[in-house]
Amino acid sequence: MIDAGLVEHFRRICGHEHVLTDRHELRTYESDGLRHYRSPPAVAILPASADEVRQVVRACHDARVPWVARGAGTGLSGGAIPVENGVLIVLTRLNRILEVDLDNQRVVVEPCVTNAAISKAVGPSHFYPPDPSSQVVSTIGGNVAENSGGLHCFKYGFTTNYVTGLEIVLSDGEVVTLGGKELDRPGYDLVGAFVGSEGTLGIATRITLRVVPEAEAHKTTVGYFESIEQAGQAVTDIVAAGMVPAAIEIMDKLTIEATESWTHAGYPLDVGAALIVELDGSEAECEARFGDVMEIYERNGATGTRVAQDENERALIWKARKAAFAAMGYVSPYYYVQDSVIPRTRLAEVLKRIDELSREYGFKVANVFHAGDGNLHPLVCYDARNAGELERAEELAGAIVVACVEAGGSITGEHGVGLDKKRHMTDMFSEQDLEAFQRLRCAFDAEQLANPDKVMPTPRLCGEVPGPYRKHPLEQAGVAERF
């Protein structure tokens, strides 16, 4: 419980002005990118160093007070939404790049360095590939917690493929170091377990990242199609031809309308879909593959194409894509970002189902997605000023998640489970799976003070004795056996 004595203690650790209790100041922190959920914390604390984080977490532990870590608050699944009567640990003052070691292709940073600042620090010779569209504001700590992706993950992989070391403050205030600069260490992959743990296993206070050399050349192209199915078939053909482009992204008509209203990047408004394909590598490889991509555009009935003539045009093409979420305000007063992943070969059928659901519910759904990864981002447009619309929009978004799982996909591609998707965990995982997750969580945080009420669908206690053995659904179906 947070009493005046505990608040005073926090102030002694971090300084009076870095411990906020005024309800107007706390409103800044009541939500994240999942704006329709709100819950102000009892106290927001802005520590300046890993040691201050450690002392704050230790004090919370001693008083049995739950806490939530926060980076930039751009998360779309509600992960950084505070817990009622708890503490919000805002990490924005831990924003230093500690070491750039290009000889070893490593960077060591504090958690609230922004994603974009990493590539800036190691450029122009190197870059940091995972690039969420929020990269100018979202933080590496948040990226690690969500295992964030982005436009270049089809070829380069996700955050988890780039974190080699972590310093973590556990929920009892102990500081542990996992991994280091080397790529792999013997023993359990605890760095891998922490990446994507959504703030439930502790707070990352120092992060070591791998960066890679910048490619010699890029070739960025856009194909315009009458239908999203044609664009999707072009993606299938590109992958089937053995190409691994640096990025393959699709925007549908509604998304183009929104993003063009803001960025004026020159996308035509009379097309059904735009497919952006970026090749990278040596000049010779890009030139050779460029011809193949153009041939595939044509074979799939492209009504037009665009090729970036220089870096400025390349940046403009990407600016429009990266602005897609934010620009939705031009076509709808409210929207709900859904995030699911499906096997790429099921794209056409799932997009058709989304279209059916959109008609059934009477809400527009814009589609913008990482086509190479099969990572869909349906944007459900609604108007919260009309009674019941938010609830129906959530219902529609939920039906899309179920359709993706039924197609062999996952409830989240890159935005995490958080508060938003925890109700869908049972669509994918059996009770036994959830128990295994819970045991891992308890090994890090036995008191469950770190971001409680997130990820797991039902409250569980660490002392719970696991139930008797029950067959996994795959065993029941005869697909897998235990040995």
Ligand X SMILES: Cc1cc2nc3c(=O)[nH]c(=O)nc-3n(C[C@H](O)[C@H](O)[C@H](O)COP(=O)(O)OP(=O)(O)OC[C@H]3O[C@@H](n4cnc5c(N)ncnc54)[C@H](O)[C@@H]3O)c2cc1C
Residues contributing to the site for ligand X (CB under 6 A): 32-33, 68-76, 79-80, 91, 111, 132-134, 138-139, 141-143, 145-146, 148-150, 198-199, 203-204, 325-326, 414-415, 451
What is the smallest separation between the CB atom of 328 and ligand X, expressed in angstroms? 9
Cβ-based nearer residue to ligand X, 90 or 434: 90
Q: For ligand X, which is the closer residue by CB, 70 or 306? A: 70
Residue closer to ligand X by CB (options 13, 286) is 13
Q: How far is the CB of 114 from ligand X (least distance, A)?
A: 8
Provide, rounded to whole angstroms, the least separation between the CB of residue 309 and ligand X. 26
Query: In 81-227, which residue ranges form alpha helices assigned H by DSSP?
Result: 115-122, 140-146, 153-156, 190-194
CB–CB of 259/323 below 8 Å?
A: yes
Crossing angle of helices 228-240 and 283-299, in 10° steps, is 140
Residue 289 and residue 295: Cα distance in Å, rounded? 10
Q: How far apart are CA 374 and CA 159, in angstroms?
A: 17
Of the two residues 74 and 164, which places its CB atom closer to ligand X in the complex? 74
CB of residue 308 vs ligand X: minimum separation in angstroms? Answer: 20
Q: Residue 349: helix, strand or coil by DSSP?
A: helix
Strand arrangement, sheet containing 43-45: 19-20, 43-45, 87-90, 67-70
Query: Which residue carries 């991509």 as its tokens?
Result: 293
Quickly list DSSP for 132-143: -TTTTT-BHHHH
Q: Minimal CA–CA distance to 342: which of 394, 402, 296, 429? A: 402
Least distance in angstroms from the C-beta of 256 to ligand X: 17
Helix (H) or strand (E) holding 368: strand 365-370
Least distance CB 320 / ligand X (angstroms): 13
H-helix or E-strand spanning residue 285: helix 283-299
Instruction: Rank residues 52 and 289 by Cβ distance to ligand X and give the closer one.
Output: 52
DSSP 3-state of 228: helix
Nearer to ligand X by Cβ, of 133 and 367: the residue is: 133
The DSSP symbol for 464 reads P
301 in Cβ contact with 225 (< 8 Å)? yes
Strands (E), 180-270: 203-210, 212-213, 217-225, 247-252
Backbone angles phi, psi at 469, to 5 degrees: -65, 130
Minimum Å gap between C-beta 249 and ligand X is: 10
**Is the CB of 286 or the CB of 400 nearer to ligand X?**
400
Nearer to ligand X, 45 or 302 (CB): 45
Least spacing, CB of residue 163 vs ligand X, in Å = 12
Return the closest-CA partner of residue 232 out of 267, 278, 274, 260.
Answer: 274
Of residues 314 and 472, the one with the C-beta less far from ligand X: 314
Q: How far is the CB of 362 from ligand X (least distance, A)?
A: 26
* Residue, CB closest to ligand X: 142
267-278 burial code (b ≥16 CB/10 A, e <16):
beeebbbbbbbb
